[in-house]
Chain A
Amino acid sequence: MWFLHFIQSSIGKKWIMALSGCFLILFLCSHAAGNATLFVGVSLFQAYADQLHSHPLIVAVFSSGLLLIFALHIVTGILLTLQNKKARNRGYKVQKRAKIRANSQASATMIYSGLFMLLFVVLHTAAVSFGDHASIGKTIAEMFSSFAISIFYIIAFMVLALHLSHGFWSMLQTFGVNHPEYNGLIHALTFIVPVFFLLLFSSLPLLFLFH
């Protein structure tokens, strides 16, 4: 009962967003680490993919866990957006922010950047994850040799960076991590984390495009 009460409360929903977001960031880390094998060569990436898929149980457990986390993050995000639209029933004639921050746009557009990420994930998994694993290295190399596909991926990574520029800090604030001693570091990470993922992910299509 108390658990139901918790997740139905406003703070509980914030926690669902933050916790699932935290797991999604961890997933990004592992994904980026796997991708990094591409810097060495397509063959090493293929070997990594083969190794991974030789453990079908691990793949099944992690994929379904990831699907659940994604679903939680998306459904809660949409629910929050709808509830919040209702709470601010009427807008102001003059729409203005009292304080413009570098990432003000990010916080105001989380639902849109999030939905774009959903579109990206659907397309990406359809093309890569559900494709033939035995030739995944080749698939990637072929995809990224196309200018249009590479640009689409880079745009998606920019949107991801935008989403993270609010999401990462917001996650810590929801967990209650807000202390004058650490706020400087947290502020720096607000920019470092999205830029880190942007560079790491975008460098792959760029690598293939200019190779």
Chain B
Amino acid sequence: MSDKQKNIDLNLEIWRQKDSRAQGDFSTYTLQNISTDMSFLEMLDVLNEKLTMEGGEPVAFDHDCREGICGMCGAVVDGIAHGPEPETTLCQLHMRHFKSGDTIVIEPFRSRAFPVQKDLIVDRGALDRVIQAGGYVSINTGGTPDANATAIPSATAELAMDAAACIGCGACVASCPNGSAMLFTGAKISQLSLLPQGKAERKERALSMVTAMDKEGFGNCTNERECEAVCPKGISIGNIARMNREFVKASFF
């Protein structure tokens, strides 16, 4: 236990919505003695335990690995997707970043393409359908090749890896004033188009993934850069620029 460990009291304003068709509204809760070593989701666990004991309905929220690599968790905390800490998923956000007496407003990711299912859970299936449109390599790669058979410069491999760090949480869509999914789609197109294995299908991929993205009802990117600012994996908008180039090349040449 660190010396800095302490307990804080919190006021929570949480979006409660029974199902996808319900109207929904904010409910207010208070929590006492929350350890600052807790993660944000552990704090919600404490709230849910309390609500269950009192015979109430626990707050529904998505989560899985709780170590910042699966992309399942996410909510908008005080107006910022995944909360105030940069490059941090909600599960990796710790309560030490809050002060005793704080009122924390927790809202679901909002976008027309992300319908709210219940409370803080939204349906991010639209992102899966963008991947299904071409976010893979369909060529037959055969047996395991020799490690150095395919030469890839280190800088290129690093760029591809940076794009591949995207966990598909949807914070980019949630934070975009236009509800655009271009950072996500840009990262997914980039991670493959940069590498020799992905280059074979880069044209079809760029065309079909952008078409799928538009079909889902995501907004149009107007270069506000909010996506990059909230991305828990620090995905750069350089990937959107690369997607723009890929799409134009695929359309015209």
Name A's B-contacting residues (CB within 8 A).
2-3, 5-6, 9-15, 80, 83-84, 86-99, 101, 107-108, 110, 166, 169-170, 173-180
15 pairs from A and B in contact (CB 8 Å cutoff): A9-B210, A10-B218, A10-B220, A13-B220, A14-B244, A84-B178, A84-B219, A90-B110, A94-B76, A94-B105, A173-B237, A173-B244, A174-B223, A176-B244, A180-B238
Q: Judging by beta carbons under 8 Å apart, are B182 and A10 in contact?
A: yes
CB-contacts of B179-229 with A (<8 A): 179-180, 182, 210-211, 213-214, 217-226, 229
Q: Judging by beta carbons under 8 Å apart, are A87 and B223 in contact?
A: no
Q: Judging by beta carbons under 8 Å apart, are B110 and A99 in contact?
A: no
Q: Is B97 an interface residue when CB atoms closer than 8 A count as contact?
A: no
CB-contacts of B227-253 with A (<8 A): 229-230, 237-238, 240-245, 247-248, 251-252
Contact of A84 among B13, B220, B241, B245 (CB under 8 A): B220
- Shortest B218–chain A CB gap in Å is 6
Chain A's closest residue to B252 (CB) is A6
How many residues belonging to B are interface residues under a CB distance threshold of 8 Å?
49
Q: Is B175 an interface residue when CB atoms closer than 8 A count as contact?
A: yes
Provide the main secondary structure of the chain B interface. mixed
Residues of B close to A6: CB separation below 8 A? 248, 251-252
Chain B's closest residue to A100 (CB) is B229
- Shortest A142–chain B CB gap in Å is 40
Q: Is B107 an interface residue when CB atoms closer than 8 A count as contact?
A: yes
Contact of A93 among B105, B218, B238 (CB under 8 A): B105
Chain B's closest residue to A104 (CB) is B224
Q: Is B80 an interface residue when CB atoms closer than 8 A count as contact?
A: yes
Q: Is B58 an interface residue when CB atoms closer than 8 A count as contact?
A: no
Beyond the given A93-B13, A108-B177, please list 12 additional residue pairs across the A-B interface where CB-CB is below 8 A.
A10-B210, A10-B218, A10-B220, A13-B220, A84-B222, A88-B111, A89-B111, A94-B78, A96-B80, A98-B175, A170-B223, A175-B244
Residues of A close to B26: CB separation below 8 A? 93
- Shortest B222–chain A CB gap in Å is 7
Residues of B close to A177: CB separation below 8 A? 241
Q: What string of 1s and 0s marks CB contacts (under 8 Å) between B84-116 and chain A?
A: 001000000000000000000101001111000
Residues of A close to B241: CB separation below 8 A? 173, 176-178
From known contacts A11-B244, A94-B105, A108-B224, infer whether A88 and B237 are also in contact, taking CB-CB under 8 Å.
Answer: no
Q: Is B121 an interface residue when CB atoms closer than 8 A count as contact?
A: no
Q: Judging by beta carbons under 8 Å apart, are B110 and A80 in contact?
A: no
- Shortest A164–chain B CB gap in Å is 13
- Shortest B214–chain A CB gap in Å is 5
Residues of A close to B217: CB separation below 8 A? 86-87
Q: Is B169 an interface residue when CB atoms closer than 8 A count as contact?
A: no
Q: Judging by beta carbons under 8 Å apart, are A91 and B242 in contact?
A: no
Contact of B225 among A99, A174, A175 (CB under 8 A): A99
Residues of B close to A173: CB separation below 8 A? 223, 237, 240-241, 244
